[in-house]
């Protein structure tokens, strides 16, 4: 098969030319169309909604049996969504959604030329009711709680679809398929599935496998026959957003071993190649998100995202170049790295008063390090981080490294054997790997092996809308992954304790990190 | 596999006992259930509506993972319709429908013990708008005509479902699957498919293949997830009612050659065995239904259904033993046979005045034979048939025999090789084969080879609700059948002319028929 033929069979948009029926060739309309579609797409079975069958005789005769078909599905579940005369250039769009706990990103794609029409981000409206996964699940214990959360997200998606369509001057009826990649809880809430068992031992989702749903059944107002692909979960703590990410990165096609890390409240890690994959998730993140220190904040305007030190003097860079109002995860990691390199933080992660000198303040008997003096901050007060904040960061970085170390050891892989280290999500977009290596958060690999890969969840969700091959890969990826429960046992705790030093008690693991001699 | 296991795997009602989930066995609810169902039923894939998934966690935990599942479908399209705790004895019903042009028969079945709960017949309400197939299709040319006809039949079915449920004291939500067998046009009208191309060259239905639809989508008010199986057509003139009949008669399992004939306005014939089948349909019937003679009528109270003659005196039998008001098809065939045997009708089908004597009347210059004198009829007038009526019957019987002869010759089978001759429908229920043989309408086989088989369409529709094996057979039957277009060419016309004699010009074809020498 040449490339053109391949692209043809892999597309959701299929052009079909049939011989018109005659007395000697009197196959019925639906059977005539599906026979040719099955042959052309090399699939065994195609489902057609009754309403599509109703319109078929008219469309076939109007087009003299030359039609464009839009299909969607996988394996044995191909659905014929629409049939149009080939010569009518009706646009065909798909909508990919990254369904995050905090943020939701929608990307509209043209399924004919595979271009991105537009992309838009919105807050997950469920956040106003309950900020995190746990609170949302508890909210569903209330009567009507689940319906309310589901309604909020679906209404918001419908509103944004309308905004997009109005802004782009397109008809929402021309959006013919959708894909959603989200964590297990967000996916459950979106589908109206009771999520309570996810957070209660033994942690059981309603479904892990991928699904195709009717958009109309869910109340999503696009083409009436449009279908929605839901990425599968591996379990309660390893969701479809990660599977989508693996697809986007083509990890399932790589011969060499790579690793993908997505850090939010949890660190989710997958390690492997085309032959095997192992995944785990663990609490690693509080210091890396907002709320951890008085100045800690989610990445946003005025957040210090990058810190350097020259001759004992700090230079910093804030998001949108605003006056600093706080420090986000990536800035905090930079800060810890420079403090360690300058000797102001010792290998145990403790501030060294003799080195910090006048940059130290004592507030309520707790040591604070002044990052930004009052006169330079947006708040008029000095921006400080406390020893407590630093202790928290040290625990987070130790947890991160221990998780990486544990998953690698479980399959007998040394972290130095990892050919590519993908850092996904907003965390990956901002973190400076050299700082993270300096504090011993991530393994001491050559920097070029680190790749910040952005929103891989959205990217994977887009790919299934553009290629049958990619949607078929999703279940392959799902089947490839072994999920490892992180047993927090004595061995894990020993590793964790060893990782609480900067960079590590075993400095041979971090040969590139120079430990200052004070 | 023993018989009990076989019955178990073939039922739509499956009992499933699962291990409850644990930390070491944390498969998601839907995946846990489907894995076990697939294994138990030996199928590859099972679809589940979102609403069933929503209720699943509660049902599984309430029943401690012992559930009864109701499924329906075929091949790769099994649908999980409902899941109930095993220990709650919720009834499970199925509704089989024979969707006739004139009459519709509904049979309610218990899917657990396979008993028939009740059966009810109604007039097809579309008959008030347009009596026959042709008139109904023309009616759909009007704006809203198709919707109107579809609404009529669906509303009537809903009403009858309510009547049945009220009378039986059952809940319509417990009807979980349905099947419909009807001719191609009735099926199209029921599904809302435009039927216009059925009657216009080259005679193309919207679909021939079998389908499973959502009852809810069609507006049928039973279980919200209930599915409906639609029997496939072979073409515009050989409908799902015939396929259903073949299933009911097990013709597709028989080694010996059998034939099934269903006579209405058209004669539909299928000939074959487990290895091959050939089918055709042709106009054969006007004389055999109502409207053909002034006294001709559809079988009903007061219709003469049986006629004998002893010593030149007639005895007759009417339906419901009412005073005679007319004569139906089977009575007319008996009459022609006795008239021929007594010499009152010659081999050309003409009344013989010398033999008929005072039983002849001349009305408007046309000879009429008095079947029932005025004083014995319910109308107070003599019931007569005219030479014109008889000519029409002769044409019908000649057409019938020619069709049978043509289909048999086309595959090199002699009609005497047919082991069983099934006569389906109401015609089959009343006709006396010996009379039909006497006039040369059907082949001169030993009488024991003739079997009147009643409503095989309803019977087949019932069988797919009771057995997976039977529903899987439907596509096998469909694939087995070759449809033969009856080309009315010179050869056909020659055969037809030869068959217009009583019993036939070639009397060797009817050795048992004694031709009276007058």
Q: List, as one string, the DSSP characters of A458-482.
A: HHHHHHHHH-HHHHHHHHHHHHHEE
Angle between helices A50-62 and A29-41 (to 10 degrees): 90
Cα–Cα distance, B199 to B197 (Å, whole number)? 6
Q: How many CB atoms lie within 10 A of CB B3?
A: 7
**Chain A residues near residue B191 by CB distance under 8 angstroms:** 50, 53-54
B209 to A31: CB separation less than 8 angstroms, yes or no: yes
List Cβ neighbours of A214 (8 Å cut-off, separation of 6 or more).
A225, A226, A227, A228
A58 to B194: CB separation less than 8 angstroms, yes or no: yes
According to DSSP, residue B232 is labeled P
Beta bridge partners of B321: none
Separation in Å, CA of B135 to nearest CA in chain A: 20
- Tell whether the model's pLDDT for residue A6 goes beyond 70: no
Cα–Cα distance, B124 to B427 (Å, whole number)? 18
Measuring CA to CA, which residue among A248, A267, A268 is closest to residue A456?
A248
**Chain B residues near residue A205 by CB distance under 8 angstroms:** 28-29
Predicted local confidence at residue B150, as pLDDT: 98
- CB contact B58 to A (< 8 Å): yes
Q: Which residue of B has its CA nearest to A203?
A: B26
Angle between helices B184-191 and B145-168 (to 10 degrees): 90
Cα–Cα distance, A372 to B501 (Å, whole number)? 115
Q: How many CB atoms lie within 10 A of CB B357?
A: 10
Quick one: average pLDDT of B478-500?
A: 89
Residues B16 and B67: beta-carbon distance below 8 Å: yes
Cα–Cα distance, B408 to B259 (Å, whole number)? 10
Predicted local confidence at residue A298, as pLDDT: 67
Measuring CA to CA, which residue among A86, A49, A70 is closest to residue B193?
A49
Measuring CA to CA, which residue among B282, B271, B512 is closest to residue B415?
B271
Quick one: average pLDDT of B282-290?
A: 56
Percentage with pLDDT > 70 across chain B:
95
- Tell whether the model's pLDDT for residue B240 goes beyond 80: yes
pLDDT digits (tens, 9 = 90+) for B321-343: 999 998 888 899 999 999 999 99
Quick one: average pLDDT of A275-281?
A: 95
Cα–Cα distance, B134 to B139 (Å, whole number)? 9
- Tell whether the model's pLDDT for residue A296 goes beyond 70: no
Cα–Cα distance, B407 to A187 (Å, whole number)? 59
Separation in Å, CA of A37 to nearest CA in chain B: 15
CB pairs under 8 A between A and B: 123
Residues A261 and A422: beta-carbon distance below 8 Å: yes
- CB contact A213 to B (< 8 Å): yes
Quick one: average pLDDT of A137-157?
A: 98
B191 to A50: CB separation less than 8 angstroms, yes or no: yes
- CB contact B200 to A (< 8 Å): no
Compute CA A352 distance to the chain's CA centroid, rounded to the nearest angstrom: 39
Please state the length of chain A: 518
Q: Which residue of B has its CA nearest to A20?
A: B202
Cα–Cα distance, A377 to A361 (Å, whole number)? 16
Q: How many CB atoms lie within 10 A of CB B473?
A: 22
Interface test with A, best of B207, B229, B230, B482 (most A CBs within 10 A): B207
Cα–Cα distance, B459 to B477 (Å, whole number)? 16
Maximal C-alpha separation, chain A? 99
Residues A290 and A303: beta-carbon distance below 8 Å: no
A50 to B197: CB separation less than 8 angstroms, yes or no: no
Compute CA B74 distance to the chain's CA centroid, rounded to the nearest angstrom: 22
- Tell whether the model's pLDDT for residue B294 goes beyond 50: no
Measuring CA to CA, which residue among A288, A292, A293 is closest to residue A305?
A288
Predicted local confidence at residue A267, as pLDDT: 85
Interface test with B, best of A22, A204, A479 (most B CBs within 10 A): A204
Q: Which residue of B has its CA nearest to A54?
A: B193
pLDDT range class, residue A8, cuts 50, 70, 90: low
Predicted local confidence at residue B19, as pLDDT: 96
Residues A461 and A179: beta-carbon distance below 8 Å: yes
B29 to A56: CB separation less than 8 angstroms, yes or no: no
- CB contact B76 to A (< 8 Å): yes
- CB contact A1 to B (< 8 Å): no
Residues A112 and A257: beta-carbon distance below 8 Å: no
Separation in Å, CA of B56 to nearest CA in chain A: 8
Lay out the sheet containing A481-483: strands in order across. A450-454, A420-424, A258-263, A266-272, A277-283, A481-483
List Cβ neighbours of B136 (8 Å cut-off, separation of 6 or more).
B101, B126, B129, B130, B149, B185, B189, B195
**Chain A residues near residue B30 by CB distance under 8 angstroms:** 206-209
pLDDT digits (tens, 9 = 90+) for A402-446: 999 999 999 999 999 999 999 987 777 788 999 999 999 999 999
- Tell whether the model's pLDDT for residue B290 goes beyond 80: no
Quote the Cα angle for B471-B474-B479, to 5°.
Answer: 150
Measuring CA to CA, which residue among A229, A149, A227 is closest to residue A185?
A149
Cα–Cα distance, B216 to A509 (Å, whole number)? 64
* CA dist list (Å): B497 to B292, B398, B502, B503: 21, 8, 11, 12
Interface test with A, best of B194, B204, B229 (most A CBs within 10 A): B204
- Tell whether the model's pLDDT for residue B65 goes beyond 90: yes
Tokens (6 digits) for B374: 């005025």
Which of A:154-193 have CB within 8 Å of B? 191-193
Using the structure block, give the residue that is written with the tokens 């944390």. B26
- Judged by DSSP in three states, B412 sits in coil
Predicted local confidence at residue A355, as pLDDT: 93
**Facing residue for A207 by CB, picked from B22, B53, B218:** B53
B76 to A233: CB separation less than 8 angstroms, yes or no: no
Give the DSSP H or E segment for B160: helix B145-168
- Judged by DSSP in three states, B250 sits in coil
**Chain B residues near residue A192 by CB distance under 8 angstroms:** 50, 54
- CB contact B207 to A (< 8 Å): yes
Percentage with pLDDT > 90 across chain B:
79
Rg (CA), chain B: 26
- Tell whether the model's pLDDT for residue A347 goes beyond 80: yes
- CB contact A488 to B (< 8 Å): no
Quick one: average pLDDT of B290-311?
A: 70
Q: Which of A206-210, B288-292, B390-394 is least confident? A: B288-292
- CB contact A235 to B (< 8 Å): yes
pLDDT range class, residue B487, cuts 50, 70, 90: confident
Beta bridge partners of B120: B106
Q: Which residue of A has its CA nearest to B213?
A: A50
Terminus-to-terminus CA distance in chain B, angstroms?
A: 67
Quick one: average pLDDT of A256-285?
A: 88
Q: Which of A413-422, B66-75, B225-234, B311-320 is least confident? A: B311-320
- Tell whether the model's pLDDT for residue B370 goes beyond 90: yes
- Judged by DSSP in three states, B324 sits in coil
Predicted local confidence at residue A24, as pLDDT: 87
Cα–Cα distance, A131 to A123 (Å, whole number)? 11
- Tell whether the model's pLDDT for residue B289 goes beyond 90: no
* CA dist list (Å): B218 to A461, B124, B145, B151: 33, 17, 17, 10
A137: left (phi over 0), alpha (psi -120 to 50) or beta: alpha
Predicted local confidence at residue A333, as pLDDT: 92
Measuring CA to CA, which residue among A314, A234, A308, A301 is closest to residue A269?
A234
Cα–Cα distance, B432 to B438 (Å, whole number)? 10
- Tell whether the model's pLDDT for residue B295 goes beyond 70: no
Cα–Cα distance, A105 to A127 (Å, whole number)? 15
pLDDT digits (tens, 9 = 90+) for B81-109: 999 999 998 999 999 999 999 999 999 99
Rg (CA), chain A: 26
Tokens (6 digits) for A515: 């430990």
Using the structure block, give the residue that is written with the tokens 């894909």. A179
Residues A103 and A121: beta-carbon distance below 8 Å: yes
- CB contact B240 to A (< 8 Å): no
Using the structure block, give the residue that is written with the tokens 């080309």. B487
Using the structure block, give the residue that is written with the tokens 């609480």. A500
Cα–Cα distance, B250 to B245 (Å, whole number)? 8
pLDDT range class, residue B319, cuts 50, 70, 90: confident
Q: Which residue of A has its CA nearest to B146?
A: A54
Task: Kindly report the backbone phi and psi dihedral angles of residue B468, in degrees, each rounded to the nearest multiple of 5, phi listed first.
Answer: -65, -35
Compute CA A126 distance to the chain's CA centroid, rounded to the nearest angstrom: 18
Predicted local confidence at residue B3, as pLDDT: 59
pLDDT digits (tens, 9 = 90+) for A49-108: 999 999 999 999 999 999 999 999 998 779 999 999 999 989 999 999 999 999 999 999
Pairing of strands A481-483, B13-17: unpaired
A218 to B76: CB separation less than 8 angstroms, yes or no: no
**Facing residue for B204 by CB, picked from A21, A50, A192:** A21
According to DSSP, residue B484 is labeled -
């Amino acid at each position: 098969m040449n490339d053109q033929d391949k692209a043809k069979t892999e597309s959701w948009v299929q052009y079909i030319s049939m011989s018109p029926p005659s007395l000697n060739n009197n196959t019925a309309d639906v059977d005539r169309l599906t026979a040719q579609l099955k042959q052309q797409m090399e699939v065994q079975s195609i489902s057609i909604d009754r309403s599509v069958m109703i319109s078929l005789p008219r469309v076939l005769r109007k087009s003299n049996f030359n039609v464009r078909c839009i299909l969607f599905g996988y394996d044995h579940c191909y659905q014929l969504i629409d049939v149009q005369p080939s010569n009518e250039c009706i646009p065909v769009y798909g909508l990919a959604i990254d369904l995050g706990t905090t943020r939701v990103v929608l990307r509209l794609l043209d399924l004919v030329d595979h271009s991105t029409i537009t992309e838009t981000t919105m807050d997950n409206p469920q956040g106003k009711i309950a900020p995190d996964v746990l609170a949302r699940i508890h909210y569903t214990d209330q009567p009507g709680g689940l319906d309310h959360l589901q309604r909020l997200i679906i209404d918001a998606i419908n509103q944004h679809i309308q905004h997009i369509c109005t802004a782009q001057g397109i008809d929402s009826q021309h959006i013919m398929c959708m894909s959603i990649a989200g964590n297990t809880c967000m996916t459950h809430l979106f589908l109206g599935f009771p999520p309570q068992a996810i957070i209660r031992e033994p942690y059981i989702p309603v479904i892990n496998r991928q699904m195709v749903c009717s958009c109309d059944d869910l109340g999503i107002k696009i083409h009436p026959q449009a279908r929605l692909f839901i990425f599968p979960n591996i379990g309660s703590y390893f969701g479809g957003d990660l599977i989508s990410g693996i697809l986007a990165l083509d990890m399932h096609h790589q011969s060499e071993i790579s690793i993908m890390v997505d850090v939010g409240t949890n660190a989710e890690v997958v390690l492997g190649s085309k032959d095997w994959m192992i995944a785990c998730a663990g609490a690693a993140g509080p210091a890396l998100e907002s709320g951890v220190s008085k100045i800690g904040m989610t990445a946003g305007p005025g957040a210090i995202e990058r810190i350097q030190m020259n001759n004992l003097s700090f230079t910093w860079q804030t998001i949108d170049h605003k006056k600093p109002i706080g420090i986000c995860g990536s800035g905090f990691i930079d800060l810890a790295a420079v403090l360690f390199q300058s000797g102001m933080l010792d290998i145990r992660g403790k501030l060294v008063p003799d080195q910090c000198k006048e940059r130290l303040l004592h507030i309520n008997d707790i040591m604070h390090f002044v990052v930004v003096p009052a006169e330079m901050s947006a708040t008029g007060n000095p921006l400080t981080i406390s020893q407590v904040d630093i202790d928290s960061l040290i625990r987070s970085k130790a947890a991160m490294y221990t998780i990486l170390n544990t998953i690698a050891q479980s399959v007998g892989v040394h972290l130095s054997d990892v050919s590519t280290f993908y850092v996904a999500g907003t965390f990956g977009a901002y973190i400076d790997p050299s700082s993270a290596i300096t504090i011993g958060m991530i393994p001491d690999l050559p920097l070029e092996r680190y790749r910040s890969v952005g929103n891989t969840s959205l990217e994977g969700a887009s790919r299934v809308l553009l290629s049958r091959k990619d949607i078929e890969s999703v279940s392959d990826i799902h089947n490839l992954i072994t999920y490892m429960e992180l047993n927090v046992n004595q061995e894990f705790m020993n590793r964790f304790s060893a990782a609480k030093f900067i960079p590590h008690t075993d400095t041979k693991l971090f040969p590139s990190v120079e430990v200052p001699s004070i």
